[in-house]
A and B are shown apart, each in its own frame.
Chain A
Amino acid sequence: MSIALFRIDDRLIHGQVVVGWGQSLGIGFIVLVDDEVRASDWEQELYRMGVPADVTVIFASVDEGIAQLAAWQADPRRGIVLTGDIAAMARLAEGSHGVDAVNVGGIHFRDGRRERVRYVYLSDEEAAALARLGERGVEVAAQDVPTGRKVPLAELVR
């Protein structure tokens, strides 16, 4: 499988993704599936600057992600597909085939959210959305870095 990691991370492309996971997995491309960034040339330029020259960055809307996922899966390089929130990853998973595991990498504090692990805060609605992904057969777990403990869905939603 070409997509080595489907990750939800509200910091989008950043050190843990590029260095932590990117180095560990030996990735050749990162797909950022985010409607807002897809519509912003300057944000795309910004995120490109943060990625090594030998790693391709692809920006896609959620709809484009649904349409393109099969092609990314067929890429001979390994890649990471990244969304900034649960809703975008859920739409991607529901609208396509191949999202069999989701890594919850970072969802930080906001009003209405409760700490589940140090780097994951969820509202009840967000926890329910993750649970629905799990019910669809997607393996959902939190793990900030490759050497961190993989926290199962049950611990995130209780």
Chain B
Amino acid sequence: MSEQPLVGVVLAHEAIANAFVAAVNAITGEAEGLLPVSNAGCDRAAIEDRLARAVAGRPAVIFTDLPGGSCAFGAAAYARSHPEVAVVTGVNLAMLLDFAFHRTGTPAEARERALATGRGAIAAPGAPGRAAG
């Protein structure tokens, strides 16, 4: 188990990452361990450079948006050479809010928790035959 709290990096298209981190901060006041990184103006190498600066050698979970996007590819490429980094795609606010209060354990454990929380938040409230999430 990692000694230091995990860092969360939200790596997403254009202004999404800043918006997510601002929302987590507004709701919880606990956005200290969450850093926004935008892919704006970046090729693949520049995305990985920005990611490296944000992670700064710490154990981390990278939350990206589109599974087939440049952010996800950049994160996966970075994680391949950094075993203390785990990647989640399809970031949503629910998983980030949960992460803000659960930054202990290994990156892999935090990734699995984020996947479960994020999937659990996808629902269709009010739809016939479906319970609200």
Contact = CB atoms under 8 A, between A and B. Distances in A.
B68 interface: yes
B43 A11 contact: yes
A137 to B, nearest CB: 28
Interface in B69-116: 69-70, 72-73, 76-77, 80
Nearest to A42: B80
Contacts of B44: 10-12
A10 B67 contact: no
Nearest to A10: B43
Given A15-B13, A15-B66, A46 B41 contact: no
A108 B69 contact: no
Contacts of A19: 66, 68
Interface in A105-142: 106-110
B80 A108 contact: no
Interface string B22-50: 00000000000000000001111010000
A108 B41 contact: yes
B44 to A, nearest CB: 6
Contact of B72 (A12, A42, A50, A106): A50
B64 to A, nearest CB: 11
Contacts of B68: 13-15, 18-19, 49-51
A47 interface: yes
Interface residues of A, number: 20
A39 to B, nearest CB: 15
Interface in A1-55: 10-15, 18-19, 42-43, 46-47, 49-51
A51 B80 CA distance: 20
A108 B43 contact: yes
B87 to A, nearest CB: 11
Contacts of B77: 43, 46
A13 B76 CA distance: 14
B43 A14 contact: no
A51 B76 CA distance: 15
Interface string B50-63: 00000000000000
Interface of B: 13, 41-44, 46, 66-70, 72-73, 76-77, 80
Interface of A: 10-15, 18-19, 42-43, 46-47, 49-51, 106-110
Given A11-B70, A12-B44, A14-B69, 9 more contacts: A14-B70, A14-B73, A15-B70, A49-B67, A108-B41, A108-B43, A109-B46, A110-B43, A110-B46
6 closest cross-chain pairs (CB), A and B: A50-B68, A10-B43, A14-B70, A108-B43, A11-B70, A15-B69
